[in-house]
């Protein structure tokens, strides 16, 4: 007879207030990260090779961008350093996302089909937090670092003056944009609770991230609509980066849209969390 585990509610021990319980869970996830770093540093050569490989890949991508602009002066009015700035900005939320997203790939096979999600349910900690923090992708730190360097370099070339509000904008818009990435792929992952997804929907969607590294105005109207409202990757780089760049014509319409990035991030991620919670309630163990 199959055993069914449907969203058990383990004891949380002493009653905690909501805020104190959140801090308690954050402390646990911080311990997850510290232990992971210790494990990775135990094999320093392997860690160094992975770091260099990711860095080399990013450098190659930047070189391709340079080759492209060696043939043209601009892309629909966007200069090389403007596009470079957007590209650099895109790496910051991507790095934040990649840092904690590794377990979203192959989630169906590892947690659903193999039944390892049972173990997650039996712990008195957030199921989503456990999945995200059980392992990390340190290469995300490389992307954040390289993206920051590229932004600073391209901003200097364009003689952009960094005001205190611009520093605050980076601090707010970068994590907000990463919520868009996290929300999209968390929503795709949560679908695994409702039907078996061995092939995975994430890889083809992940490949579309490259569209977010360029000004979406270079694409046709259908693509712009798709990247703004359907698969909102326009909000992970172009719109928030426009806070600093404006538009080629000197208008402020894109800069104003950048202010909606936190709202878009919260809506997309919040919607994905709702799908996740519904999926957890729908989950039945595959054990016997």
The pLDDT score that the predictor gives to residue 10 is: 44
Does any domain span residue 9?
no
Does any domain span residue 10?
no
The pLDDT score that the predictor gives to residue 128 is: 93
pLDDT tens digit sequence for 23-33: 888 788 888 78
Alpha carbon 169 to its chain's center: 18
Picking from 230, 226, 213, 214, the residue whose alpha carbon sits closest to that of residue 268 is: 230
Higher-confidence position of 80 and 199: 80
Does any domain span residue 11?
no
Which pTM value belongs to this model? 0.85
CA dist 255 → 164, 166, 170, 194, 242 (Å): 16, 12, 13, 39, 5
Q: What own/partner pairs with CB < 8 Å and gap ≥ 24 does 51-57 have?
A: 51/138, 51/139, 51/142, 54/139, 54/142, 54/143, 55/142, 55/146
Q: Which domain holds residue 141?
A: 18-282
Q: How many CA atoms lie within 13 A of 267 on its CB side?
A: 10
pLDDT tens digit sequence for 166-182: 999 999 999 999 999 99
Does any domain span residue 74?
yes
The pLDDT score that the predictor gives to residue 2 is: 43
Does any domain span residue 4?
no
Number of domains in the chain: 1
């Amino acid at each position: 007879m199959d055993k069914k585990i449907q969203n058990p509610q383990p004891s949380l021990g002493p009653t905690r207030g909501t805020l104190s319980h959140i801090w308690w869970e954050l402390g646990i996830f911080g311990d997850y990260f510290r232990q992971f770093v210790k494990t990775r540093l135990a094999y320093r050569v392997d860690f160094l090779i992975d770091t260099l490989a990711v860095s080399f890949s990013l450098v190659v991508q930047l070189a391709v961008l340079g080759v492209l602009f060696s043939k043209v002066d601009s892309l629909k009015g966007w200069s090389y350093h403007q596009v470079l700035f957007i590209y650099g900005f895109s790496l910051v939320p991507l790095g934040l996302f990649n840092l904690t997203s590794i377990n979203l790939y192959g989630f169906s096979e590892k947690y659903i089909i193999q039944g390892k999600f049972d173990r997650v349910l039996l712990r008195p900690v957030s199921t989503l937090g456990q999945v995200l923090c059980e392992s990390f992708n340190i290469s995300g730190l490389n992307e954040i670092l390289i993206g920051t360097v590229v932004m600073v370099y391209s901003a200097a070339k364009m003689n952009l003056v960094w005001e205190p509000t611009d520093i605050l904008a980076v601090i707010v818009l970068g994590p907000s944009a990463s919520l868009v990435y996290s929300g999209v792929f968390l929503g795709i992952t949560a679908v695994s609770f409702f039907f078996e997804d061995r092939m995975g929907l994430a890889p083809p969607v992940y490949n579309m991230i490259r569209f977010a590294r360029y000004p979406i105005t270079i694409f046709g109207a259908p693509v712009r609509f798709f990247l703004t409202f359907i698969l909102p990757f326009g909000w992970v780089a172009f719109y928030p980066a426009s806070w600093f760049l404006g538009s080629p014509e000197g208008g402020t319409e894109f800069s104003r849209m950048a202010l909606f990035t936190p709202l878009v991030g919260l809506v997309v991620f919040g919607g994905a969390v709702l799908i996740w919670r519904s999926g957890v309630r729908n989950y039945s163990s595959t054990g016997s």
